[in-house]
Structure 1
Amino acid sequence: MTRDTQYTNHLANETSPYLLQHVNNPVDWYPWGEEALDRARRENKPILLSIGYSACHWCHVMAHESFEDPATAEVMNRLFVNIKVDREERPDLDKIYQTAHSLLTQRNGGWPLTMFLDPENRIPFFGGTYFPPQPRHGLPAFTDLCEQITAFYRDKRSDLEQQNQSLIEFMRNMHRSESPSADAIDSMPLDVARQQLGGQFDKTFGGFGKAPKFPHPTSLERLLRHWSATGGKDTEALDMTLFTLDRMALGGMYDQAGGGFCRYSVDDQWMIPHFEKMLYDNGPLLSLYSEAWAATGNPLYQRIVAETAGWVQREMQAPEGGYYSSLDADSEGEEGKFYVWSQDELHALLEEDEYAVAAARYGFDRKPNFEGHWNPHVYESLESVAQKTGNDTARVQALLSSARNKLFNAREQRIRPGRDDKVLVSWNALMIKGMAQAARVFDEPGYFASSQRALDFIRTTLWSEGRLLATCMDGRAHLSAYLDDYVFLIDAILERLQVHWDSDEMAFALQLADVVLEHFADPEGGFWFTADDHEALIQRPKPLGDDAMPSGNAIAAKVFGRLGHLLGDTRYTDAAQGTLKAAWNHIQQGPYGHTGLLVAVEEYLNPPETLVIRPGNDKIIWQQAVGNNYAPRRMCFIIPDEATGLPGLLAERKPQDKGVAWLCQGTQCLPPINDPAQLGEQLDTTGDN
């Protein structure tokens, strides 16, 4: 993005890379805050609110076309108080105004989000997403729209006030519903979601629905858990999951040279991605591919985990330990330029035999699939490539490995896409969990060490005076944390503790849980997205449904249920039950849109299996007895005999000379088990296998 550095607006002191991209726009941008809101009230000017993020391609397009244009900026500055928001730093504002956009336009939102707000009460009265500089595709020119909006605000005040009142009443009441009794919670939504996902499944290419195709890890996790819950009988649920994971891993949405997944595919075949890479996609996908390997042993999934974790450690982890947020879709002003290849480049880099197998595998011998260039997408199996090229599969694999290394090393010399270097607690928590889960499943200490560094950074930099801060950039941490930050981090710590017990980490998780109960809980059940001492906004969101990530309430219900059973603390199980009751009507109305919450429903109806081991001197033998097969409802904690300060029921799990294990499902426990072999037999015949 070009900058006229002769002009600097009010964004100069911000930490967000996205906001700093706009600091030299001729638009007189303000960050969200009292200075801008007060000016709008004093001057009675509508607020033009623009929400985006640094890796957003169409945000860059609108910025280049309109926000960098002095003539457009003159119109915006004359008519509005202009506010820029990074949706990643302020997901509260994004949730509120995306909801308002959907209500006003009856269309889905997106980014850039362009909303026009009443200066007195910040209620939106018109909105859209991207607007072009000239009329096209049924959209008005942006400057013409600005003039029309101002005229409407000036001439139709009574109509506007009536619309505002209706909108705000609906938004403030949309989370209210009558809670059922606890015994009304049943398994019906689990079965309905299974059928709904089956109905949306693309049998040709995998995934759900048509392009654009998103990975939807919570939906795939639901199918995998459903297969497990049926004792392996629902093989179709497993097949849908694995087919989708295969197609994503072999498609162009996965970075075949460097590892890691892009945001989504623009086509049905997972061939051409929107090239941005987001931390919040790759963390859950690390977890999912690790679980799929535990369920199947497919070596493809192990490779995808290794390559994705390698990319994260190589490119997305700060020296201080935190994980960066995203990589841009664009480099040198062009989307995907960093990732695609010309024939001249391929022939110059690869030996003849390397090119032969790479061309057959990745389609380099076919028509270009991205704007005259080739984005690697797996077209042929290894066996087919071997047959076509006259090699055996071992030779094909060796040549492909050599070719991929050459492509990767050559790509490293290119101008990189922009990276958003801010550290967000919630997204870091998703990656911490993914790394920890991969460490446990594959017994890989390097993954665990990476997660440790990220957690240490959060505790050192973003935990202050008993509360979390949401974001940090260049050592500057600020903004009150949201529900997602707290509960995603608890979830990650519970996963880490199953790899390596740390009493101090457990105590930290309980501190986080106490903050959630004190500051985020709704007395009617469930949790608000913002704390009770957060800035007052036009709505206090209470997210229940899935979007790109599971909702905070879904993860809260799961982790509080698990903490309650692990520690024998009814405060936590009551909080989990209250969340499900508050969300029950929404779950029933659209089960497949609440797959995150369905995990908690499943564990409410069929409580998780908790296994606590005090191993004595035989930790490895006990670990071998447990194994690493797919057991989604099982929590296993191997607590060293010397560990102290154990909370709740854990304090009663005293060590014994030769080691001892306690196996419980919900509140029902077997007698203590002193023999690792006996434990292994018990796990094979009962519980979650």
Structure 2
Amino acid sequence: MAASSEHTEGPKNKLALSSSPYLQQHATNPVDWYPWGEEAFEKARREDKPIFLSVGYSTCHWCHVMERESFTSLPVAKLLNDGYVSIKVDKEERSDVDRVYMTYVQATSGGGGWPMSVFLTPELQPFLGGTYFPPTDAYGRPGFVTVLKRIAGVWREKKDLIRQQSADTMRQLSEAMQPKAEEQTFEPSQSATAIKRCTDQLAERFDSKLGGFGGAPKFPRPAEVNLLLVAAQRDASADRAASSSGLSASGVAAPVQMADKTLQRMAAGGMYDHLGGGFHRYSVDEHWHVPHFEKMLYDNGQLAQTYLDAFSATGNAAYARVARGILDYLRRDMTHPDGGIFSAEDADSLDKMGKKAEGAFYVWTAEEIDEVLGADTERGKAFKRHYYVKPSGNIDLSPRSDPHGEFEGQNCLIERETVEGTASALGLTPDEAEQTLAKAREMLHAKRSDRPRPHVDDKVVTAWNGLAIGALAKASRVLTSEPDEVPRKLFPVIGRPAKEYLHDAEEIARFVKANLWDGQKQRLLRSFLSGPSDVEGFADDYAYLISGLLDLHSVTGGTEWLAFAQQLQQKQDELFWDDTAGGYFATAGTDPSILLRMKEDYDGAEPAASSYALSNLLRLAALASPQEARHLELRAKRTAGVFQDRLMDTPLAMPQMCAALHLLDAGHMRQVIIAGRSGAPDTEALMDAAHASYAPDKVVMLIDPSNEASASFWGEHNPEALAMAQGWNTDRPATAFVCQHFTCKAPTTDPEKLRASLKEAHEKAKRRPLVQQIDLSSLSKEASKTP
């Protein structure tokens, strides 16, 4: 049965009013789809029919394939409508539903992915699950039609047995996933062990030739690089000794080398969009060359932060340029008119024949490039050489790149040599080559804009916008340390002054607070399309947004952002905290249709909420009074304690949490207190200096004693810090204090001295009581004398 020839578009089904672009895509399918909810559940119970649950997202390539092959087919729709209650779920909007049934599919089949196809009893208990089903039998596997017919028959004959077995399976799964009932205490001394083991496990999997960890397909997992940057800082002297050989004393790759190689090869590969900026989802081959072409905000928000951190840690300006490329892409192509950032761009778009094809928007024939740049021009020659453009196509680096011959004759741009190498081959200076390539990219980008664009999933997801806020906020300070204050326009880099990124970060934060924070219910909402969805936020929405708001406070000193972060942390504790064993559940536990309540223990494409929460708690502790700090740090220890076994045995599963453990190991973060008038040039210079060096163990507190709101806030939340700032003479230049373990260095008004101070190694805490008081009088007097 050829499903494509049976295609029809009937009247709209019950998905038409959904707040999800993915569900709306299926609103004209002949399948009688229902959204996840009581209406569908009641129908299944009343008619005693099994449920067919299909989970995906709007930019999912194989979701589109299964829709074209099966869900638009009248015969398939009849089988579903007669024998099942069919439910569609957007995994990005209802990650709680996806999490439960993906856990089942992975536990019973050993794998998972999207589209996810699961058959449930009317009581929502799963009894068969998989991913993509072809429409007809092929390759020794049953097709979707065969599966539907078989399950309908078995249900009629053995529904009681199916109910019993599915209930038993979920009971076993629930017991396996249930966190320990007793509390485990994670001591700071264990942090070093977990960080070292995670780093060693990464080294064992490191691809020393091509970067990354493991073979194809290669995914950008920023959490891994984040951990390596932390590990490199922790052992800076060993890394310096190994810099000439690239090897640590043990003979394995040093953390900084693994991070450098991975970041460089990812940015050079076709997974990075050289014409438009931003990263695609992953590379299907080991060379980071041919990607799965969808672009996700959760990847790009994290990667921008990681490249900014790498720039701060290494001084490599190329990393700053990649970060700019990501952020300029988000600003240009993915921004809601009112300030939020959209979720994703599709992998598929219309090709020259008017058919949907993966990557059609992004790949080029050599002739197409010659038409734009000129075949024999210096610009054309430089571009084709630098990006490995070939008349026959360049999808030839690996058999994995194009196993089905879909990209024959096409070129997916990849940098195969340095700018210096291209310059030398063509008799240009590096600067001339750089400018030539940038102009060529801009011309090709303009030509590409005439092509049919991929579909944009224009819902605004709270969690992922938190990541974007953090990246943009960080860029506004970190990028002031670039060699040129305003870099040249090297397309897709626009060349914006760094401070302009702060405006974008604040616009997103205002959008989220206005549209995704229900002030009446005191709840975050998950997403926004034409309006806020009715799905309440999950733990990752709170954790990621709190992190972004803390970054925004750090670069602005704006206490309104810190106050919002504190409010959200209190609400996260209320909704998701496990009082018995500690740690955060992924869901609030208020929806009876969610059969499993879990604590995520894997930092994948989207890190576990607890990994971000651990860092957030410690950052908030460093900003708080000693009494409140004690409460927050104890909660952080309990959060890590939930994952103690995982962190000791297989820490590679949680590299983001291992990175956060660095803060726990430090004992107390460094406090950079800047006393000065907000916005004044001398204050801004110290704020830029405070963020210039890679120092994840610091918090920055701008306190303006002359500002009533600032003084009032800090008087309530950290009177000790306010007392120090009040020793500053308002007639003097802005002054910075660097404090650690209840001891402060001599205050300074010199940005360069502040930079140098923060480059010094973090000394481990001498375990003092957190409630110990500080004698601030001498420091306050000293501050008043500062020239």
Give me the TM-score of the superposition, normalised by structure 2: 0.84
The one-character-per-residue Cα deviations of 1:261-285 (angstroms, maximum 9, x if unpaired) are: 0000000001100000000000010
**CA distance in 1: counterparts of 2:277 and 2:392, whole angstroms:** 24
**CA distance in 2: counterparts of 1:497 and 1:620, whole angstroms:** 14
Partner residue, 1:446: 500
Partner residue, 2:16: 12
Partner residue, 2:412: 375
Deviation, 1:390, is 3.1
Task: Give the letter aligned to residue 63 of structure 1.
Answer: E
Partner residue, 1:400: 437
Q: Is 1:242–2:242 an aligned residue pair?
A: no
Q: Residue 339 of structure 1: which of 356, 359, 362 is its match?
A: 362
Paired residue secondary structure (1:334) = strand
Task: Give the letter aligned to residue 744 of structure 2.
Answer: L
Paired residue secondary structure (1:480) = coil
Q: Is 1:590–2:650 an aligned residue pair?
A: yes
Deviation, 1:675, is 4.6
**CA distance in 1: counterparts of 2:499 and 2:24, whole angstroms:** 37
Mapping for residues 134-283 of structure 1, pairs under 5 Å: 134-157=136-159, 159-173=161-175, 174-177=177-180, 178-183=182-187, 185-234=190-239, 236-283=254-301
Q: Residue 70 of structure 1: which of 62, 70, 74 is its match?
A: 74
**CA distance in 1: counterparts of 2:753 and 2:441, whole angstroms:** 47
The one-character-per-residue Cα deviations of 1:345-396 (angstroms, maximum 9, x if unpaired) are: 1111113221111111111136412332111111122232223323332332
Would you say the 8 A contact 2:524–2:537 is kept in 1? yes
Would you say the 8 A contact 2:461–2:528 is kept in 1? yes
Deviation, 1:440, is 1.8
Partner residue, 1:296: 314
**CA distance in 2: counterparts of 1:22 and 1:688, whole angstroms:** 57
Q: Is 1:619–2:624 an aligned residue pair?
A: no
Q: Residue 432 of structure 1: which of 469, 483, 488 is its match?
A: 469
Task: Give the letter aligned to residue 21 of structure 1.
Answer: Q
1:447–1:139: structure 2 CA closer, same or farther, 3 Å change rule? Answer: farther
385-394 or 497-506: bigger deviation: 385-394
Task: Give the letter aligned to residue 146 of structure 1.
Answer: L
Paired residue secondary structure (2:124) = coil
Would you say the 8 A contact 1:260–1:311 is kept in 2? yes
Paired residue secondary structure (1:587) = helix
1:46–1:605: structure 2 CA closer, same or farther, 3 Å change rule? Answer: same
Would you say the 8 A contact 1:440–1:498 is kept in 2? no
Deviation, 1:494, is 0.8
**CA distance in 2: counterparts of 1:153 and 1:422, whole angstroms:** 38
Paired residue secondary structure (1:479) = coil
Mapping for residues 540-551 of structure 1, pairs under 5 Å: 540-551=597-608
**CA distance in 2: counterparts of 1:345 and 1:541, whole angstroms:** 51
Q: Residue 640 of structure 1: which of 696, 704, 718 is its match?
A: 704
Deviation, 1:294, is 0.8
Partner residue, 2:490: none
Partner residue, 2:670: 609
Partner residue, 1:110: 113
Mapping for residues 7-156 of structure 1, pairs under 5 Å: 7-105=11-109, 107-119=110-122, 121-156=123-158
**CA distance in 2: counterparts of 1:619 and 1:122, whole angstroms:** 58
1-10 or 499-508: bigger deviation: 1-10
Deviation, 1:90, is 0.4
Aligned residue pair count? 686
Paired residue secondary structure (1:187) = helix
Indicate the RMSD between aligned Cα atoms, in angstroms.
Answer: 2.1
1:489–1:37: structure 2 CA closer, same or farther, 3 Å change rule? Answer: same
Partner residue, 1:683: 758
81-90 or 231-240: bigger deviation: 231-240
Q: Residue 458 of structure 1: which of 483, 507, 512 is its match?
A: 512
1-10 or 142-151: bigger deviation: 1-10
Would you say the 8 A contact 2:93–2:527 is kept in 1? yes
Q: Is 1:322–2:340 an aligned residue pair?
A: yes
Would you say the 8 A contact 1:92–1:541 is kept in 2? no
Q: Residue 738 of structure 2: which of 663, 670, 674 is its match?
A: 663
Identity of aligned residues (%): 35
Would you say the 8 A contact 1:609–1:688 is kept in 2? no
**CA distance in 2: counterparts of 1:624 and 1:434, whole angstroms:** 16
Partner residue, 2:611: 554
Partner residue, 2:771: none
1:344–1:604: structure 2 CA closer, same or farther, 3 Å change rule? Answer: same
Q: Is 1:364–2:389 an aligned residue pair?
A: yes
Partner residue, 2:622: 565
Deviation, 1:505, is 1.5
Structure 2 residue runs without a partner (length 5+): 243-253, 351-355, 396-406, 481-497, 765-787
Would you say the 8 A contact 2:670–2:697 is kept in 1? yes
Deviation, 1:401, is 1.5
Task: Give the letter aligned to residue 178 of structure 2.
Answer: H
Task: Give the letter aligned to residue 141 of structure 1.
Answer: G
The one-character-per-residue Cα deviations of 1:565-618 (angstroms, maximum 9, x if unpaired) are: 320313322221111111111222310011111123221121322222212563
Partner residue, 2:550: 494
Structure 1 residue runs without a partner (length 5+): none
Q: Residue 421 of structure 2: which of 378, 384, 394 is its match?
A: 384
669-678 or 145-154: bigger deviation: 669-678
Q: Residue 415 of structure 1: which of 434, 452, 477 is its match?
A: 452
Would you say the 8 A contact 1:472–1:478 is kept in 2? no
**CA distance in 1: counterparts of 2:428 and 2:216, whole angstroms:** 36
Paired residue secondary structure (2:654) = helix
